[in-house]
Amino acid sequence: MSDTLRLAVRRYAQAVLPPIVAQAERRRRFPRGVMRQCARLGFLSLDPCQCAIVAQELPRCDSLGLALGVFVQLNLVAPLLDRLGTAEQKREWLAPLLRGTMIGAMAVTEPHAGSDYAALRTQATQKRGQTVLNGTKTYVTCANAAQLLIVAAREAGGLSLFLVPRDAPGARVTPLSMLGLYPSDPGRIELKNCRLPRTSRLGERGAGFGYIQQALNRERLLGGLACVAWAQHAMARTIAFARERIAFGRPLTRIAVIRHQFAEMATTLEAAHQLNQAVFTRWADGQDMTKEICMIKLFSYQAAQHAIDRCVQIHGGAGYLDESWIARFYRDARALTIAAGTPEIMKEVIAASMRL
């Protein structure tokens, strides 16, 4: 099953997606039809091992932004709904998501608060049998494409999660223009007296911090698998370019300084790959791997970002052209050490787990 799925995702990414990617990158919108295609092909699954295969193979479409839009559904929104949702919430939201007919987004970050959840200002109050949300969320992946927003808000008892339909009264989504990851369709969400039924809370009151941490663990872990596989794909394409590029009468791959750069990249990415696989195996077995997942976010994501930077350098001027594939990779890679937890935050979490 795993080999069959891997081959199917790879074939889809490399044979079907390229024209869709070209349009999505140009329009800077997430192509909704991709989710329906993924559903028909059997790629939308809650099984961690199947999600890991999709994470490693889908970036071969050469658009991390498009792949990220799919990953948000598989590795963040769907698992939260599956784990925390009531039967009615699953019927209304999870079922259509897994059919590819609905898109969701997770809204935690605010203009003045990212990793510091204690500083989140969005408030949830209970009035006349309804939940009323007020606040602003930003840098929300897929927000501009989503029909469902999972919003973190403060209420009496702590931080909670709420299911907010895109068209809920008082909810407004504004597109954001980013440096890269164009098809991920990011947005800013403004909630002004946004009224929801009391049944809109996802999970227990005040348990949002723990839910977010567990969701981030899955996102960071599977994201680590994805970004390292993506960087290895970029390195393979760059090696093919270097074999054809002649300098000083010989291919770049016959020049020691270039050969050594590839050797270093291959070694670092293999180390990241092995770390990712070892942690994934133990996490899938149910072990608490929070510290090790933070190590992945610290090491593997930086390794991928550094490899992409080296690939641009090896391409020279051709890599600096806006229309080149490696230039897009370079723009997209810059987000790896910003989104879902910076290296600085990861170091603090790791150090705290060491009781330093």
Mean pLDDT of the chain: 96
The span from the CA of 70 to the CA of 219, in Å, is 12
Q: Decide if 122 contacts 152 (C-beta within 8 A).
A: yes
Q: What are phi and psi of 233, to 5 degrees?
A: -65, -45
pLDDT value for 1: 63
Q: Decide if 98 contacts 39 (C-beta within 8 A).
A: yes
pLDDT value for 115: 78
The model's pLDDT over 84-118, given as tens digits with 9 standing for 90+, comes to 999 999 999 999 999 999 999 999 999 998 778 88
Summarize the confidence of residues 153-182 as an average pLDDT: 96
Residue 109 burial by Cβ neighbours in a 10 Å radius (0-12, 13-18, 19+): buried
pLDDT value for 264: 98
The model's pLDDT over 109-130, given as tens digits with 9 standing for 90+, comes to 999 987 788 889 999 999 988 9
Task: Give the Å distances, CA to CA, from 24 to 34, 36, 172, 189, 319.
Answer: 11, 16, 23, 22, 21
Write the CATH number of the domain with boundaries 209-353. Answer: 1.20.140.10
3-state SS of the chain? CHHHHHHHHHHHHHHHHHHHHHHHHHHCCCCHHHHHHHHHCCCCCCCHHHHHHHHHHHHHHCCHHHHHHHHHHHHHHHHHHHHHCCHHHHHHHHHHHHHCCCCEEEECCECCECCCHHHCCCEEEEECCEEEEEEEEEEECCCCCCCEEEEEEEECCEEEEEEEECCCCCEEEEECCCCCCHHHCCEEEEEEEEEEEHHHEECCCCEHHHHHHHHHHHHHHHHHHHHHHHHHHHHHHHHHHHHHCEECCEEHHHCHHHHHHHHHHHHHHHHHHHHHHHHHHHHHCCCCCHHHHHHHHHHHHHHHHHHHHHHHHHHHHHHHCCCCHHHHHHHHHHHHHCCCCCHHHHHHHHHHHCCC
Fold match, 2-99 / 209-353:
no
The span from the CA of 109 to the CA of 73, in Å, is 18
The letter for the amino acid at 260 is H
In the chain, where the domains are located: 2-99, 104-206, 209-353
Q: Decide if 188 contacts 176 (C-beta within 8 A).
A: yes
pLDDT value for 301: 98
Beta-carbon contacts of residue 325 (< 8 Å; ≥ 6 apart): 62, 237
pLDDT over 90 at 59, yes or no: yes
Summarize the confidence of residues 243-259 as an average pLDDT: 95
Asked whether the CA dihedral 161, 135, 142, 88 is positive or negative, the reply is positive
Rounded to 10 degrees, the C-alpha dihedral 185/186/187/188 comes to: 180
pLDDT value for 129: 87
Summarize the confidence of residues 320-344 as an average pLDDT: 95
Summarize the confidence of residues 193-208 as an average pLDDT: 96
* For the chain, percent of residues with pLDDT exceeding 90: 96
CATH C-level class of 104-206:
mainly beta
The span from the CA of 329 to the CA of 281, in Å, is 28
Q: What are phi and psi of 115, to 5 degrees?
A: -75, -15
The model's pLDDT over 187-196, given as tens digits with 9 standing for 90+, comes to 999 999 999 9
Question: What fold, for 2-99?
Answer: Butyryl-Coa Dehydrogenase, subunit A; domain 1 (1.10.540)
The span from the CA of 297 to the CA of 115, in Å, is 14
Q: pTM score, two decimals?
A: 0.94
pLDDT value for 43: 97
The model's pLDDT over 11-41, given as tens digits with 9 standing for 90+, comes to 999 999 999 999 999 999 999 999 999 999 9
